[in-house]
Amino acid sequence: MTGETHEEAGPAGLASALVAGGALSSDWLPSFRAVPRQLFVPDRIWPGIADGTRQNPVVYRSQDPDAWRRAVYSDIPLTTQWDDGQHHGDGLGTTPTSSNSMPTMVFSMLQDLDVRPGNRVLEVGAGTGWNAGLLAHRLGNPNVVTVEYDPDVARGARANLRLAGLAPTVVEGDGRHGWPDGAPYDRIIATCSLLEIPGAWLAQSAPGGIIVAPFGTEYGGEQIVRLTVNEDGTSASGRFTRSSAFMRLRQQRTDRPPFEDYLHGKPWPADAVGSTTTLAPPDTGGWFEQFVIGSAVPGAFWRAERYDDGAYTLWLYSRDTRSWASADHRRGRTEYEVYQSGPRNLWDEVEAAWRWWDDQGRPGLDRFGLTVAPVAPDAPAAPGTHTVWLDSPENPVPLRG
């Protein structure tokens, strides 16, 4: 952003960049112009780098309006809240929990949503309200509902929308339950990451409705999925469209027990069994590789312990604390030491998932999809069975463990 003039750091410059990149289509351009991003960005923000790898220092509009404007009209995410609002300082908190999303992602997901005149849309995760504002401008206020769990964030979104002259319905509540008072919806869009698609969203969809949501695995990795709901609202299926990295839906955050819980009072390596592998642990660590592994290895997650010499240990854990594994990576080696403990051989599961993907020719995101079914009608917040597949629903990713 350094070196841009005040005139360049504006809506026209951002629109040009988004159009050139293919994110902003001609049908969304009028809404982009009528619903300026700056009306939905608070005085204090933490501008992010587009790849999400680090965070810039805090920027205040009241203190540095030029820097604030450059950030607003750059194609980057803007963090607006840390640690569920418990963090009030200017430094970085532990976990970002609300934001104004990266414009490329906003408009790419709106393209995936494929709204038509008269469509009713449910959004889960109001954030600053910009996404709901864009939808309300295009479809009309009565056709847009946005649900936000955090009362302070919801109030801010509502105020921003009023400032923009818009009034979609803003609901404070648990997004997993949707909002049945406004159903059925032709389109549902989530602006938070999900481990499970709630059954209520399928039940509240019109036949043939579309759900666009960031879907991740507990192990790691996340992609945008575009699902089409069947006629009776009991299942949905569709392909992944692009990679993403959204903040997790609060009710689907997962605990990460400390390592001591896995040793059960015994000194390391406890009862672990040693072996070796020729698969280098870094080969399993890419964002998409994590997604493929997580689709095959349920109820597991990882941590990395890095050392000054560039070596590191990959630690694998089962959510139930009964199983763990470690794989040591040392530069220049072709064989790596592994320890595994518990009823699940977690490294073996991870390696089997990676080698399955490798055997398929390392297919990319465009060949994967997701099916959610069946959904119990008497438990609307409960998820159905989630099956990630390659090329077609008849070819599911093989589960390990």
Strand order in the sheet with 385-390: 169-172, 144-148, 121-124, 185-190, 205-216, 222-229, 236-243, 368-373, 385-390
Neighbours of 142 (CB within 10 A): 12
CB contact set of 311 (below 8 Å; sequence gap of 6+) = 328, 329, 330, 331
> How big is the CA angle at 400 (ends 394 and 401), to the nearest 5 degrees?
140
Q: Helices (H) and strands (E) in the chain — how many of each?
A: 10, 18
> How big is the CA angle at 292 (ends 291 and 298), to the nearest 5 degrees?
80
Question: Which stretches of 4-129 are DSSP H helices?
Answer: 11-20, 29-34, 65-72, 103-113
> Which residues are known catalytic residues?
101
Cα distance from N-terminal residue to C-terminal residue, the chain: 47
3-state SS class at 79: strand
The Cα-based distances of 213 to 96, 197, 298 in angstroms read 19, 8, 20
Of 219, 397, 217, 248, which Cα lies nearest the Cα of 325? 219
Tell me if the bond preceding 269 is cis, omega within 30° of 0. Answer: yes
CB contact set of 224 (below 8 Å; sequence gap of 6+) = 108, 109, 112, 212, 213, 214, 215, 240, 241, 242, 243, 244
